[in-house]
Structure 1
Amino acid sequence: MKFSRSLTIIGVATLTALALAACGNSSSNSATSGTGNVTVAVSGFPIVKKPLTMSIMAPSMGKTNWSNMAALKEYAKMTNIQLKYNTPPTSDFSTKLNLAFASQDLPDIIYAAGSALTPANEVSYGKNGQLVPLEKLIPKYAPNFNKLMEKNPAIRKSITTPDGHIYALPYVAEDTIASWYIGPLWYNGEWLKKLGVKTLPKTTDEFYQLLKRFKTEDPNGNGKADEIPLTDVKMDVARIWLMPAFGLLSQDVQNDGDKVIYAPIDKRYKAYLTFMHKLFAEGLLDKDTFSQSDDQKNAKGQADRLGVFANYFSYFTTGRTTDQAMNDPMWQPLTSPESPKPVIAMSPRINRADFAITKNNPSPAAALRWVDYFYSKKGSLFINQGPEGYLWNYATNSKGQKVKVMAKGVTSTNSEDKRAEISPTYGLTAPMLTADWDADTIRAKADAPAVSNFTKWVRNETKEKIDPYGRVPFPLVYLTKDEQDSVAASANDLKTYVEESEAKFITGVTPLSDWDKYVQTIKGMKVDQYVKVYQAAYDRWKKAN
């Protein structure tokens, strides 16, 4: 999954003064790259003494020319590395990148490719020598990123291809809410208050009983039986939060311990479908769930007709203020006879393929040093917020603390548009580290709080309700070429059939008595081979180090 990194007033800001100080402190310990006669400093700035030019290809959000971005211009001075930019629009980037590989007209660096550089292509381009393996260079030339892998071994496992190489670096998120697998379900706090509910449901039965109260006790107080206890759009969010109540975290493969299973034919999935059909049949699940749009769902929320609903934040649906939204509790993981311990799906906290070096690069070591700075706190703040004088300026608050405040012309409503003019990370999952660096936020005024009360509340909800119970449904793995070929067709067919069947089972179009027939149909779609492939990929992932 990708991560949103909106850096407005409550986002992070740079420590440019420290970064510039580092420019004058370049380590004398240097090494010559094996791909060219380039001497690269292993620490400090500049990275190279003699000016070095590299070409870079990246998707553009279309806000401004990358050559004019203040963060990149300043970083070129710090590093002594100049970049030539090829930045197709995001809508065309995947096509342009594939053409570059096909024609061998490759840039030196591929930046923020994300899903455009698919795992399959990463394996293929690496194997045929178009991408440079990085694992031997990382300890020396990417110490910040190396520390992240040591801290979280799953990162190394998740970016190591079947041939044992690392061809691309990821975006790494340590922000509190980066643990979300998808935007949560939220309870309507006004309804809970009206019904005197003090404690959220912890079991599927308690949840069912609460939904019945939402339906029958007029919690919106309008005298009409118009309440919709639970809603979603095609179950895309709700299933992620409700399936774990039955011990399943994915509508695809998941690992139960070290055993890979296909969740949609597990007996626990039948229990999930049975429960959801019960809700639908009794009018507790919105009858429009499989047909409505997000806008239609949100309109119901703004009319105060929803009890439990999905969105990134509750006020996106209800239209309430952020202060009011703090009364809408985040989903509490449920248990059931099938799953007596609470568990919830959690994000792996990385987005792969965000920085790759091609065979044309004159100095992979220098390129790796160039990006490694962004895996540190100072570097991440710098590339996100740029140097002083554009998005922010230093100011001293009433406590005598030096803080960052919005520069002239920057407001809470236009700060992201302004950031798009100076930073290449706008709108992209760029190769970098992010975290809750509250002391470095950009404030409207020097004495304004670093973080809003709403942000603090959301973090606390996450720490209480997701972090203790979170588990990644299935690790990020790579498949070999043969494995890709063996599952490519069945993967799409399985996904389509399972989603269509889910809707039919829940709405009653297909009776649950047809479960065995459904399972046999899936088995006929080569699901056993599908699971076998992912078991092998999981086993490789676990052994990678």
Structure 2
Amino acid sequence: MKLSRLFSIVGISALTVLALAGCGSASNKTASSGDAKVATSGFPIVEEPLTMSLMAPSVGAANWNDMATLKDYAKKTNIKLKFNTPPSSDFSTKLNLAFASQDLPDIIYAAGSALTPANEVSYGKNGQLVPLEKLIPKYAPNFNKLMKDNPMIRQSITTPDGHIYALPYIAKDTTASWYIGPMWYNGEWLKKLGVKTLPKTTDELYALLKRFKNEDPNGNGKADDIPLTDVKMNVARIWLMPAFGLLTQDVQNDGDKVFYTPIDKRYKAYLTYMHKLFAEGLLDKDTFSQSDDQKKAKGQADRLGLFSDYFSYFTTGRTVDESMNDPMFQPLTSPESPKAIVPMNPRINRGDFAITKNNPSPAASLRWVDYFYSKKGSLYLNQGPEGYMWDYAKNSQGDKVKVTAKGITDENSEDKRSKITPAYGLTAPMLTADWDDAAVRKNPDDKIVVSGFTKWVRNETKEKIDPYGRIPYPLVYLTKDEQDSVASSANDLKTFVEESEAKFITGVTPLSDWDKYVKTIKGMNVDQYVKVYQAAYDRWKKAN
């Protein structure tokens, strides 16, 4: 990662941290919470030292007891934490065991998908998680402001019983709108073929892929050019299905109507198109069997024309600057869908900060995390305290500015950062945003300039995703009865649909079997599945 990106956000290894409005330190009003006196603003949060336990997944980069940011924050807040950080791979199992045994930590942090919406509902109802909605206005003013500014946040984290049991990770940065990750065209191939305008329809894409296959764009004299590739269609599906009006391989709402996309007639049109690409050698024959490393090897051998990755240079092996010649895929239209659309991420990851019934001071815990929903606090969590990733220096005008700490380079910055903060490799509870004034200078007199690559990625996103983006289906909660009614069919449907997709595209199953395929899905309780998600959507909409 370039150093200019380090403090403006995001490594691939993590959705990291930047945020909105500072938490003041001037006044120190206090309020009672259990046995602790909790300041409603400023530091320290409590006058008397308070010790609590925190459970979180570890990515293995450093011991949390040794992280400079957490050590420094303990001094600021007067709150000491005892960390229980099992490896990420074991965290879900360990967390469920903690709930089952009632041996709960005081705080559950950065749990992400391990604290599922179903678990929030269940553990909240059982009294194992503390409702937060009444405490938030006083003890989490930064987060409360975010909910006021964007009502969808409250809608998305309020369970059917009307409570908020966990706070989320919230993203406002440009790339957070990406549903998964983009697809990229090989810019060198486009230049070789004289392509000036990217495809805007499925027919135009087909024509370009034919040229990629037949006109030797990599110039090696071999018929080894692969027009389109992916790993199990996991990303390509997200960008090609919308050409037929579908945003997900699950439930989608068009207006207020919820339906199951894999049995929609437009899904058959998508499968028909993809089978045509596969049959004519335009879709990589290894798509459903190759690993990501195998895909990357083809990219580094300059054999790929259109491919998926977070950034194109991860696949091609080119430099960051060279990758700016690889344009982002833009949404297509088709006879089935004359208006371009693309799925957009809701920019909220639920379940990242919860307080259990054992917690001695929920108010102090909320104050502790709320700082990271402010710009100042999230920059602090991302960059650490002075002297690790950055230092202060005076420029020629005598202004005090942040400069890169000695020994920090583009090559080692993420590794160094992973040692000082938990906001690495995890969806930590905080807000991220594109704040260019967060940039750190290499020299005191350097101007704060967003890197060319950062500008380019933002522009590509604003041009090719933001105008066409729509959330396929909102973040909802199911009641316990609703969960029970669809639990047995959800995984079966997902597995059957994905397996059938591969068979239809490769021709193992002929498209003439479409009616048989739909009948099979109908027999898998899909009508009840849709009914449940329609009811959940109606509740979600009403909550606004």
TM superposition score normalised by structure 2: 0.94
Q: Deviations over 1:302-361 (max 9, x none)?
A: 221211111111111111111111010001110111111111011111111100011111
- Secondary structure in 2 aligned to 1:301? helix
- Measured after TM superposition, the shift of residue 132 of structure 1 is 0.4
1:320 and 2:318 aligned: yes
Equivalent residue number for residue 361 of structure 1: 359
1:531 and 2:530 are equivalent in the alignment: yes
Matching residue of 1:171: 169
Q: Deviations along 1:62-102, whole A, 9 cap, x unmatched?
A: 23222222211221222222222222222222222112111
One-letter code aligned to 1:76:
A
- Look up the match of 1:416: 414
Write the deviation string for residues 453-497 of structure 1: whole angstroms up to 9, x where unpaired: 111111110011001111111111111111111111111111111
Give the aligned partner of residue 12 of structure 2: none
Could you tell me which residue of structure 1 aligns to residue 281 of structure 2?
A: 283
User: Contact 1:10–1:443 at 8 Å: present in 2 too?
Assistant: no
State the Cα deviation string for residues 161-204 of structure 1 (Å, max 9, x = none): 11111000000111100100111110111111111111111111
Residue of structure 2 in register with 1:144 after alignment: 142
1:113 to 105, 111, 125: 111
SS at match of 1:273: helix
Matches of 1:311 and 1:63, distance apart in 2: 24
Aligned equivalents of 1:442 and 1:54: distance in 2?
A: 34
Indicate if the aligned counterparts of 2:226 and 2:283 stay in contact, CA closer than 8 A: yes
Q: Give the direction of change, closer, same or farther, for the CA distance of 1:164–1:321 in structure 2 (3 Å limit).
A: same
Identical-pair percentage: 81
Q: Trace 1:212-251 onto structure 2 (pairs within 5 A).
A: 212-251=210-249
| d(CA) in 2 for partners of 1:195, 1:420 | 43
Q: Matches of residues 369-408 of structure 1 in structure 2 within 5 Å?
A: 369-397=367-395, 402-408=400-406
Q: Does 1:521 find its partner at 2:520?
A: yes
Equivalents in 2 of 1:55, 1:384: separation in Å?
A: 22
Q: Deviation digits for residues 127-146 of structure 1, max 9, x if unmatched? A: 01010001111111111111
Deviation at 1:8, TM superposition (A): 5.1
2:6–2:414 contact (8 Å) kept in structure 1: no
Q: Residue 288 of structure 1: CA displacement?
A: 1.3
Tell me what 2:7 maps to: 12
Q: Deviations over 1:383-421 (max 9, x none)?
A: 111110112112345676544222123222222222122
Map residues 84-99 of structure 1 onto 2, 5 A cutoff.
84-99=82-97
Cα distance 1:376–1:287, how it changes in 2: closer, same or farther (>3 A)?
Answer: same
- Counterpart code for 1:32: S
The structure-2 alpha-carbon separation of the partners of 1:399 and 1:229, relative to structure 1 and needing over 3 Å to count, comes to farther
Distance (whole Å) between structure 2 residues aligned to residue 87 and residue 112 of structure 1:
11
Q: Distance in 1 between matches of 2:343 and 2:400?
A: 40
Query: What is the letter of the counterpart of residue 27 of structure 1?
Result: N
2: CA distance, partners of 1:385 / 1:58:
20
By how many angstroms is 1:300 displaced?
Answer: 1.5
Distance 1:193 1:7, change over 3 A: closer
In the alignment, the residues of structure 2 paired with residue 296 and residue 75 of structure 1 have an alpha-carbon distance, to the nearest angstrom, of: 43
**3-state secondary structure, aligned to 2:83:** strand
The 3 A distance-change label for structure 1 pair 414 and 268 is same
* Structure-2 separation of matches of 1:524 and 1:277: 25
Name 1:65's counterpart in structure 2.
63
Query: 1:186·1:308 contact (CA, 8 Å) conserved in 2?
Result: yes
Q: Does 1:26 align with 2:27?
A: yes
Tell me how far apart the structure 2 counterparts of residues 542 and 207 of structure 1 sit (CA, whole Å).
37
Residue aligned with 2:349, SS: strand
Q: Which runs of structure 2 are paired with 1:120-519 in the superposition (5 Å)?
A: 120-397=118-395, 402-446=400-444, 447=446, 450-519=449-518
Residues 69 and 420, structure 2, Cα contact 8 Å, conserved in 1:
yes
Q: How many residues align?
A: 533
- Measured in 2, the distance between the counterparts of 1:44 and 1:428 equals 27
Contact 1:404 1:440 in 2 (8 A): no
Structure 1 residues not aligned, in runs of 5+: 1-5
- Structure 1 range deviating more: 390-399 or 216-225: 390-399
Instruction: Calculate the TM-score normalised by the size of structure 1.
Output: 0.94
Q: Do the aligned residues in 1 keep the contact of 2:184 with 2:307 (CA within 8 Å)?
A: yes
CA offset digits 1:269-315 (Å, max 9, x no partner): 01101111111111111111111121221122122121111111111
Contact 2:371 2:377 in 1 (8 A): yes
Q: Is the 8 A contact 1:232 1:297 kept in 2?
A: yes
Partner SS, residue 339 of structure 1: coil
Q: Say which SS state the counterpart of residue 458 (structure 2) adopts.
A: helix
Separation (CA, whole Å) in 2 of partners of 1:477 and 1:395: 48
Aligned-pair distance for 1:38?
2.3
